[in-house]
Amino acid sequence: MKILACIKRVPDIGARIDLTDDKLGIVTKNLGFTISPHEECAVEAAIQLVEKAGGASAVLTLGPAAADEQLRDCLARGIDRGILLETDAAHWDPGETAKTIVAAIRSESEKAPFDLILFGNEAADSGDCQVAVRVASALGLPCLTGVKNLEAADGNAAAAREVDSGWEIYDIPLPAVIAVKEGVNLPRYPTLRGTMKAKKKPIDRIIPEKTGAKLRTETLYHPPETGKQVEMLGQGTAAVPKVIEILKSLEVI
Amino acid sequence: MSQFPEKAKVVIIGAGIVGNCVAGHLAEKGWKNMVMVDKGPLPNPGGSTGHASNFIFPVDHGKAMTQLTWDSSKQYEELGVRRECGGIELARTPERMEELKRRVASAKCWGIEAELLDPDGVLRLFPWINKEKILGGFYTPSVSVVDSLRAGTIFRERAVEKGAMTVFPNTEVLDIDVEDGKVKAIKTTRGTIETEYILVCCGVWSPRIAEMAGASIPLVPVVHQMIDAGPVPQFAQAKSEVEYPILRDMSTLMYERQSAGNMEVGSYAHRAILHDPNDIPSNEQAKLSPTEMPFTMEDFEPQLEDALELLPDMLDNDQVEIQYSINGLISMTPDGGPVVGETPEVKNLWSAAAVWIKEGPGVGRLVAEWMTDGVTDLDPNEVDIARFYPYARSKAHVWDRAREGFIKTYGIVHPGEQWEMSRNLRLSPFHARTEALGAVYFQTAGWERPQWYASNENLLREYGDRIADRTNEWDARWWSPIINAEHLAMRDRVGMVDLGAFAIFDICGPGALNVVQKVAVSQMDVPVGKAVYTLLLNTRGGIRSDLMIVRIAKNTFRVITGAGHGGVDKKWFKDHLPADGTVQLHDQTSALCTVGLWGPKAREVLSSVTESDVSHEGFPFGTAKKFFIQEVPVWALRISYVGELGWEIYTTAEHGPRLWDILWEAGQPHGVVPVGIGVYGTTARLEKSYRLTGNELDADYNPVEAGMAFPRVKPQDFIGKEAYLKQREGEPAAVLCSLTVDDHTSSTGEKRYMTGHVPVLTQDGGPIEDAHGRRSYATSAGMGPTLGKYILMAYLPPEHAVTGNQLKVEYFAEQYPATVAAVGATPLLDPENSRIKG
């Protein structure tokens, strides 16, 4: 089975996010970068499926040259090769991102088509939830998002997603596009050995042409803080009646 | 949480290992009304303590750091947070193997059990090492892992339980108020506290806090990379945090340390990655903690390869994952040492920064003693913040040194090793002259001092048969046979020494005599023009320093001291000036320059360029005089640190080059040679058994032991007098002696010449320890070219301090015979001092 996992380099943020002066981005000076958590699961799924069924896995990202770091990280975990669609610093919207990824996948498919194209459900920073669907649509492939259970073998994928009332179970013919959510598996860390091996794995670098974003960020702002209220219930045993009252109101006791 | 106080005795900023330890010790010493603030939460506020690997290797080549580490180890043990696991420093190269032999010597000097292991010996203790990669190891059984967060918590809670301290986490310091050069108040996000003392213990943030008060704490946060890898199959059955020795793979500048079922791998091999303290993210901004910066794998990859090579069975498999990886921030200082003590800029503003886990409790105790009693058990000189001159507080210098110094953390550092960056900071007025003579410069306190002169190479022919060259590269590194040739020429003829680096300050005012009388051991109420060599003691009678004080007017005393110790000496005098301003300290270091003129022909040279009477009677030893050398106004001092007739000749900086030229020219008929510090500080000094602060003289020893108790004790009071009188009554536990090496031949037939600290042993190779548990080691070592003997100085217990006593010294794991040649201050060369008298 030939599997592609698509990922995005995103800042690894702390509790407080500082905005740049123009309010169009966040300050990343002292931040590290990582892969969106859902995408980490997509990578893990690709590795596990290939481990089970054999085949080859690839990881693709559209991003700056520094996104090489995230590709290497995936290679260290066990992905076989990387594809970097290297961009400049400009903002790429989901439409043009999908278009560029589609072009790359088509060009890859000329050699050997992917059986399964995995995405994370949404990127941790922009959260557009669009790229997987757009890629599937453009390639005319079946698409499933929000997947939290995934198996694939013999030209078919069995997938499930959690809904309020229970689980939706799907059986989809491959090739397909599937966007997974955190929880579908437990992503592994790269091993020391894998990290050294990753240095020798190939990364294809392609510089795509920017087709023009149709979505534009107007401004970023922090959501209004929900005020934290702390009430002292008293000290020592004096606090006990109030504690009981609260536990009762919470229907804990 | 208690109400935020308006007043406090001391505010301790920082709840890391240092702040907590100081707090605990201060409370123990009876301090009350203490407040601790930290901008982070407890128990891990986010500083370097929180991500420390927490292991302690006790042996350092330096005595002070070893003592602080050893004391810390004991304290961790008492707190019940220490687990002894042993540690092995590994060598992959012959060069590192030699360094490990030097480690053994240091361990013997400081009395710490340690041994060399062959590869099989290493594998017996840690079976999973790739034997092919190692040549051997240095094993220290007392290496341990400690719980520094717990230790800090215990100390902090002790202070709180005593009612001595309140603690406010999540409280950021906004500003510090200083009035009349003294700490007044501290502003925080919770309010303002009026306080008598402020103690800055906030690690990598310390420079930023000190700056608020107009002071400086010279350090820079640097990255130390560390990963946590696991699960390690061989540790699957681990029942505790650490069960195997910690490995320091010294050749690759890395360590591997078991952490339960995982292995922590840390590195000091990567490029120096420096951060501005202002750029460290806040607790809220940081993903992990502020001092756990994003890991940069590209810097670590070469080290990863090294780790896999060393421990293939453990790490090179499909199970061991990198589960946690950080660029942890730690503090680096210009000389790598901690920054401790009251800041010279602001009274009652104290620093305890750049302190690692291994020194934390020791520094905590030291600071508490220092703040409470003004005196410490362990010698504070090496950690004293006052050692940094203004230039050393600049960002440019601190960063340059940190960049260059980072790689030395696990590096092999020769005792004479010079820094490459941040040079030519302080040049004496003679610099152009000495440079033209091919001076090879060594740096001290920023000053470039000629160590020897290439232009003296011709002297090697003249004295060739009396000069032993060194064939061993280590012994010959940072050394030249020219030093010995300069020495012989000076003793035969006359030499000129650039002493421009002297720290000089005048104590002036109506009460000046009282000040110097109080600080100095020697009688200072002497006639104007009299020079007095004196020791300075601490209140317990330990030695702080030795220096010259000259009474240059009724109410003015000139203090002349070495550049290396000048900052600390200056602060000591300043601390003892009366508060009313009637006595002032004027720093003359930059205004004056000094050239030493010494040798049997010195008088002939000097008398040829001055009309002043420079005869023995007209200019007696130990006196100072103002006169002219041709048109240059000078002030000269007839003393000698080299054991020859001559003078230290002082003039103002602008006259310096002219003074040099006049003496140089006048010296030509007498065969004058430029003489470097290699002679002044080592060879000539050792032949005369003159002591050096920091080598022979430190707070561990007293004047009686140092052989410097003069016949009479002045009736006036002085610091340390009571203790000094007591010392004089009893027998000293050790006596400073001069030894000579009887045979330099190593087992390979090569002649070896000891450099650095080497242990002095009994004839059968056993350690020598005095009644106070102090080991005997060479405090100084160097050639005595006139004597034709290699000289060592060492404190020996009385039973060994006997002239003619045969002992051994250990150098690179071999023992060489040495003989006690003189006991006490008796010089080996010219004991009657007839050369000095001329």
pLDDT at B710: 87
First to last CA, chain B: 75
Nearest by CB: B322 against A13, A14, A189:
A189
Q: In chain B, which residue's Cα lies nearest the Cα of A19?
A: B285
Say whether pLDDT at B542 is over 60: yes
Measured between beta carbons, which residues in chain A are less than 8 angstroms from residue B293? 30, 32
Say whether pLDDT at B1 is over 70: no
Name every residue whose Cβ is closer than 8 Å to that of residue B52 and which is 6 or more positions away in sequence: B17, B148, B328, B356, B357
- Give B302 to chain A, closest Cα distance, Å: 9
- Give A85 to chain B, closest Cα distance, Å: 21
Q: Which stretches does DSSP call E strand in B114-261? A: 115-117, 136-140, 144-146, 165-168, 173-179, 182-188, 191-200, 220-230, 246-249, 254-259
Q: How is chain A split among helix, strand and coil, in percent rounded to 5?
A: 30, 30, 40
Measured between beta carbons, which residues in chain B are less than 8 angstroms from residue A193? 308, 315-318, 320
Measured between beta carbons, which residues in chain B are less than 8 angstroms from residue A199? 301
Stated pTM of the model: 0.93
Fill in the amino acid letter for B754: M
pLDDT at B770: 97
Stated as kind and residue range, the H or E segment containing A51 is helix A37-53
pLDDT at B623: 97
Nearest by CB: A191 against B286, B294, B320:
B320
Q: What is the mean pLDDT of residues B512-532?
A: 98
- Give A7 to chain B, closest Cα distance, Å: 19
Hey, is B142 helix, strand or coil? coil
Q: What is the mean pLDDT of residues B545-570?
A: 97
Fold type of domain B7-188+220-332: D-Amino Acid Oxidase; Chain A, domain 2 (3.30.9)
pLDDT at B151: 97
CA angle at residue B364 from B360 to B368, to 5 degrees?
170
Considering only residues 284 to 313 of chain B, which have any Cβ-Cβ distance to chain A shorter than 8 Å?
284-287, 293-295, 297-298, 301, 304-305, 307-308
pLDDT at A235: 78
pLDDT at A229: 76
**Domain ranges across chain B:** 7-188+220-332, 504-587
Task: Using a CB–CB cutoff of 8 Å, tell me whether B322 touches chain A.
Answer: yes
pLDDT at A106: 95
Measured between beta carbons, which residues in chain A are less than 8 angstroms from residue B229? 192
Nearest by CB: A69 against B297, B308, B319:
B297
Residue contact A14–B322, C-beta within 8 A: no
pLDDT at B464: 85
Digit-coded pLDDT (tens) for B709-757: 988 999 999 999 999 999 999 999 999 999 999 999 999 999 999 998 9
Measured between beta carbons, which residues in chain B are less than 8 angstroms from residue A194? 318
**How many Å is the maximal CA-CA distance in chain A?**
76
What's the rounded Cα separation, in Å, for the pair B247 and B224? Answer: 17
Contact A74, A80 (CB under 8 A): no
Which domains are present in chain A? 2-206 (3.40.50.620)
pLDDT at A224: 86
Residue contact B284–A16, C-beta within 8 A: yes
**How many Å is the maximal CA-CA distance in chain B?**
88
Residue contact A189–B321, C-beta within 8 A: yes
Considering only residues 200 to 229 of chain B, which have any Cβ-Cβ distance to chain A shorter than 8 Å?
229
- Give A32 to chain B, closest Cα distance, Å: 5
Digit-coded pLDDT (tens) for B473-493: 999 999 999 999 999 999 999
User: Which sequence positions of B are flagged as catalytic?
Assistant: 224, 255, 546
Say whether pLDDT at B506 is over 70: yes
Q: In chain A, which residue's Cα lies nearest the Cα of B276?
A: A30
Task: Give me the total of CB pairs closer than 8 Å, taking one residue from chain A and one from chain B.
Answer: 72
Digit-coded pLDDT (tens) for B269-313: 988 999 999 889 888 888 889 999 999 999 999 999 999 999 999
Contact B256, B214 (CB under 8 A): no
Residue contact A192–B287, C-beta within 8 A: no
Nearest by CB: A30 against B281, B298, B308:
B281
Residue contact B279–A15, C-beta within 8 A: no
Residue contact B321–A13, C-beta within 8 A: no
Q: Would you tell me the crossing angle of helices B512-519 and B563-575 to the nearest 10 degrees?
A: 120
Measured between beta carbons, which residues in chain A are less than 8 angstroms from residue B307? 192
pLDDT at A237: 87
Digit-coded pLDDT (tens) for B87-141: 999 999 999 999 999 999 999 999 999 999 999 999 999 999 999 999 999 999 9
The count of C-alpha atoms lying within 13 angstroms of the C-alpha of B343, restricted to the half-sphere facing its C-beta, is: 32
Report the DSSP pairing between strands B503-508 and B531-537: unpaired
Nearest by CB: A13 against B287, B295, B316:
B287
Task: Using a CB–CB cutoff of 8 Å, tell me whether A99 touches chain B.
Answer: no
Stated as kind and residue range, the H or E segment containing B515 is helix B512-519
Measured between beta carbons, which residues in chain A are less than 8 angstroms from residue B285? 14-16, 18, 30
ipTM for this prediction: 0.86
Digit-coded pLDDT (tens) for B375-401: 999 999 999 999 999 999 999 999 999
pLDDT at B178: 98
Stated as kind and residue range, the H or E segment containing B8 is strand B7-13
Is there a cis peptide before residue B510, judged by omega within 30 degrees of 0?
A: no
> B504-587 falls under which CATH superfamily?
Aminomethyltransferase beta-barrel domains (3.30.70.1400)
- Give A76 to chain B, closest Cα distance, Å: 10
Look-up of token digits 């990669």: B133
Show the tokens assigned to B484. Answer: 């010995």
Closest-CA residue to B246 (of B237, B235, B255): B255
Contact B206, B278 (CB under 8 A): no
Nearest by CB: A190 against B316, B319, B321:
B321
Task: Using a CB–CB cutoff of 8 Å, tell me whether A222 touches chain B.
Answer: no
Nearest by CB: A14 against B229, B281, B297:
B281
Say whether pLDDT at B199 is over 80: yes
Low-confidence ranges of chain A (pLDDT < 70): none
Mutate to test the interface with A, among B228, B318, B324 (most CBs of A within 10 A): B318
Show the tokens assigned to B468. Answer: 């032993």
Residue contact A195–B316, C-beta within 8 A: no
Show the tokens assigned to A14. Answer: 């702390």
